[in-house]
Amino acid sequence: MSGFGRLLLAVTIGCASVPFRDARASETATAEEKPALVASDVRLTAARDQMALEMDFDQPPAFTLHYVDEPPRLILDLPKTVFTRPDTAVKSHGIVKSVRYGTMSEGQARMVITLAEPLRVTHSEAVPGAGGKGAVLRIDGEKITPDAFRALVSAQTWADPQAEKPKDQLALLSSPVAGDRFLVAVDAGHGGIDTGATSPDGETVEKDITLQFARALVDELNARPGFEAFLTRDKDEFISLSRRVAIARERRANLFISLHADKLRQSDIRGATVYTISDRASDTLSASLAERENLSDELAGIAASDEPEEVADILLDLTRRETQAFAVTFADHIIESFRGQVELINNPHRSAGFIVLGAPEIPSVLLELGFLSNRKDVEALTDPERQKLIARLLGDAIDGYRNQGTAKAGQGG
């Protein structure tokens, strides 16, 4: 019972300028041993200028609240939590544009409330549930001006661990590559709170498909002499786009491949697409796809200002240009390897400004394995034999790329 008492006292917000956090934050040392919270229901009532949110838990939740701008969002961080209902069940309205929740990392869950208008939390507390069973977390908020919201954001003393900045770009360019192995970073798109696309029947989720394929590809490559592969994520957790790039760069990967299976409005379009990076998108479909992919960090509640600053440097420019040419060659190898065995869309090599393809010295491609909006693609993507075949064909493409001799033996000259 003591948990409730302290929570009540500490998290009730009176003053807008004080960043709020819960009373049990200092007790997180023992949080890992605790069983996951179970969140069974979320109720949202909103008008154009206010909202009231209630969440049912099996036990009193430790929680923290933060504000993030551009667009205005309210971030609710929780310990490890099992959500028994999908966030799509919460119908947003009024001042609330969308509600999303899920796993961030081991031991951390998050709810991101994206707002139509800036909002200030007027009251937040965890109270005992009906009949003394479980707990109800209540969060009330009211509309404020954009200026007042900006003031709230800057008054916070909060560094989002998820928004960790990658290391210095130029330092990474000049650091040596270890050994003669050919190292491939395999990036399973989406994860955790960012589920990616979902098939029309709701059965197939992109973040699961990408991880299955990524695992198959890593196994395939690690079984080939001279190759080594690793995953940027090996479980259902959220990793920011810049963090994915940073992981590959810190490991000094020779190649980066990001796996996806998105959906389109046109359900008749099917087949694989290989994307490389470009300032200007090759076509409108690619432009809108990159735009959606690049929203990943935003929907996980990460502030736009946390993106790494662009470094203006001639060496970096030259490296980028060279890397881009290698990526195009690699894309050609994939298409060649797939042709006749894997369905491809029209003009299967396309380009757009994907953030995740931004490593300046690592040739990077984003492979759309197929579309979850197409029934035949869903069938193919969920077939383990098909996953193995594609992993093998990708292995052949990577092999061919390396053997062509144009492949970068190392980075940074």
Q: Name residue 121's amino acid.
A: V
CA 314 to chain centre: 31
For residue 272, what is the enclosing H or E element?
Answer: strand 272-277
Residue 70's CB is within 10 A of a number of other CB atoms, namely 11
| Shortest distance (Å) from residue 303 CB to Zn ion | 22
Quick check: 141 binds Zn ion (CB under 5 A)? no
| Shortest distance (Å) from residue 258 CB to Zn ion | 8
- Judged by CB under 5 A, the chain residues 273 through 332 that form the site for Zn ion are none
From CA 123, how far away is CA 13, in angstroms rounded?
A: 5
Q: Which residues, at least 6 apart from 201, have a Cβ–Cβ distance to it below 8 Å?
A: none
| Shortest distance (Å) from residue 294 CB to Zn ion | 10
CB of 196 or CB of 301, closer to Zn ion: 196
Question: Residues in the chain, how many?
Answer: 413
> Which residue number places its CB atom closest to Zn ion?
260
| Shortest distance (Å) from residue 34 CB to Zn ion | 33
Contact flags string 100-139 toward Zn ion, x per CB under 5 A: ----------------------------------------
CB of 114 or CB of 195, closer to Zn ion: 195
CB of 61 or CB of 196, closer to Zn ion: 196
- Bridge partners (DSSP) listed for residue 98: 114
Q: Which conformational region is residue 178 in: left (phi greater than 0), alpha (psi within -120 to 50 degrees), or beta?
A: beta
Cα–Cα distances (Å) from 119 to 24, 77, 113, 306, 384, in that order, read: 25, 17, 10, 21, 46
| Shortest distance (Å) from residue 273 CB to Zn ion | 11
CB of 83 or CB of 275, closer to Zn ion: 275
Integer distance in angstroms from the first to the last C-alpha of the chain?
63
| Shortest distance (Å) from residue 366 CB to Zn ion | 8
Three-state DSSP at 386 gives: helix
| Shortest distance (Å) from residue 389 CB to Zn ion | 21
CB of 90 or CB of 261, closer to Zn ion: 261
CB of 260 or CB of 408, closer to Zn ion: 260
Tokens of 245: 């790039």
- Say if residue 71 is preceded by a cis peptide, omega within 30 of 0: yes
CB of 105 or CB of 294, closer to Zn ion: 294
Contact flags string 169-198 toward Zn ion, x per CB under 5 A: --------------------x------x--
Contact flags string 227-266 toward Zn ion, x per CB under 5 A: ---------------------------------x-x----
CB of 81 or CB of 204, closer to Zn ion: 204
CB of 115 or CB of 302, closer to Zn ion: 302
CB of 96 or CB of 193, closer to Zn ion: 193
Q: Which conformational region is residue 332 in: left (phi greater than 0), alpha (psi within -120 to 50 degrees), or beta?
A: alpha
From CA 63, how far away is CA 91, in angstroms rounded?
A: 23
| Shortest distance (Å) from residue 205 CB to Zn ion | 11
The number of residues that bind Zn ion (CB under 5 A) is 4
Q: DSSP for 148-198? A: HHHHHHHH-----GGGPPPPPHHHHHHSPPPSS-EEEEEEE--BTTB---B
From CA 380, how far away is CA 369, in angstroms rounded?
A: 10
| Shortest distance (Å) from residue 263 CB to Zn ion | 9
Burial level of 98, CB count in 10 A (0-12/13-18/19+)? middle
Residue 341's CB is within 10 A of a number of other CB atoms, namely 11
| Shortest distance (Å) from residue 315 CB to Zn ion | 32
Contacting positions for Zn ion (CB under 5 A):
189, 196, 260, 262
